[in-house]
Amino acid sequence: MDATNGNGGASKYITLVSKDGFEFVVLREATLCSDYIRGMLRNNMTEARTGRCELQDINGVILEKVVEYFHYWYKYRDREDVPDMEIPVENCLELVVAADYLGMDNVKNHESTLPHLGLRSSTCVMAVVPRGVFVNRTLL
């Protein structure tokens, strides 16, 4: 069961669409750091067939950052010394929620060492605060 299983048209790219209609074309392999997208692509549902996914809870600004992270993760996935990724502080909460939604904390499932850590310096919230507690308190 890998990402090539049952995808419609074996394109190397997939399209991610934000709530407000921005479209991002992302290297398929780069999105695999998200459990959500992995799961989506390996099941033969609409998204897997069309290669297009509309994320209804994530707006363009945040999704842009997420996509940047995908590529950042992809680029550094086999490297040892990974530079920090720039994270705008004002977006970090929303980024945390998006990351949680997309299942990007579970990097142990992926084959790489974690260059996850772009999010580390300014927003260590992500790593430190237990997800459930934080998200729920903020949102509800």
Partner 1 sequence: MASRTNKIRPIRKPITNRDQSEFEPCWALLRDAMTDIHLQNAGRLSFEQLYRASYKIVLRKKGALLYERVRDFEQEWFRDHIMPNIAALITKNLINISLLQHPGSSSHERREMGEKFLRGIRDSWTDHNRSMNMIADVLMYLDRVYTLETKQPSLFAVTIGLFRNNVLRSHIGAAADDIEQDFVVFDILCAVILDLINMERDGDIINRNLVRKITAMLESLYETDDEIENHRLYLTLFEPRYLEASTEFYRKECEKLVQEANCSTWLRHAQRRLNEERERCGTTLSIMTTDKIASVVEKELIEAKLDVFLAMEGSGLKPMIDNDRLDDLSILYQLISRVDSTKSALKVILQRRVRELGLEIEKALKNTDFSVAGAATGDGEEAGEAAEKAKPQTLNPAQQQTAAAIKWVDDVLQLKDKFDRILSDCFCDDLLLQSAITRSFSDFINSFNRSSEYVSLFIDDNLKRGIKTKTEAEVDAVLDKAIVLLRYLTDRDMFERYYQKHLAKRLLHGKSEIHTEKEMVSRMKSEMGNHFTSKFEGMFKDMELSKDLTDNYRDHIASLGDVDYKMVDLNINVLTTNNWPPEVMGGGTSKGEGAKPDCFYPPEIKRLQESFYKYYLKDRSGRVLTWVSSAGNADIKCVFPKVPGKETGPLSKERRYELNVSTYGMIVLMLFNDLVDGESLSFDEIQAKTNIPAPELMRTLASLSSVPKCRVLLKEPATKNVKNTDKFSYNAQFVSKAIRIKAPVISSISKVEGDEERKETERKNDQTRAHVIDAAVVRIMKSVILPVASFRVG
The residues that touch partner 1, with contacts defined as CB under 8 A, are 1, 35-36, 39-40, 42-49, 53-57, 59, 89-94, 97, 101, 103, 106, 131-132, 135-136, 138-140
Q: Which is closer to partner 1, CB of 10 or CB of 140?
A: 140
Q: Which is closer to partner 1, CB of 11 or CB of 138?
A: 138
Q: Which is closer to partner 1, CB of 81 or CB of 132?
A: 132
* CB-based contact 105:131 (threshold 8 Å): yes
Least separation in angstroms between residue 100's CB and partner 1 is: 9
Name the CA radius of gyration of the chain, rounded.
15
Find, among 98, 94, 19, the residue nearest to 56 by Cα. 19
Helix (H, G, I), strand (E, B) or coil at 59: coil
Find, among 87, 35, 89, the residue nearest to 66 by Cα. 87
Q: Which is closer to partner 1, CB of 68 or CB of 94?
A: 94
* CA 95/CA 105 separation, integer angstroms: 12
Q: Which residue has the tokens 């997309």?
A: 102
Q: Which residue has the tokens 């680029």?
A: 75
Q: How far is CA 17 from CA 28, 47, 89, in A?
A: 14, 11, 23
Q: Which is closer to partner 1, CB of 80 or CB of 130?
A: 130
Least separation in angstroms between residue 75's CB and partner 1 is: 26
Least separation in angstroms between residue 19's CB and partner 1 is: 8
Least separation in angstroms between residue 134's CB and partner 1 is: 11
Least separation in angstroms between residue 37's CB and partner 1 is: 9
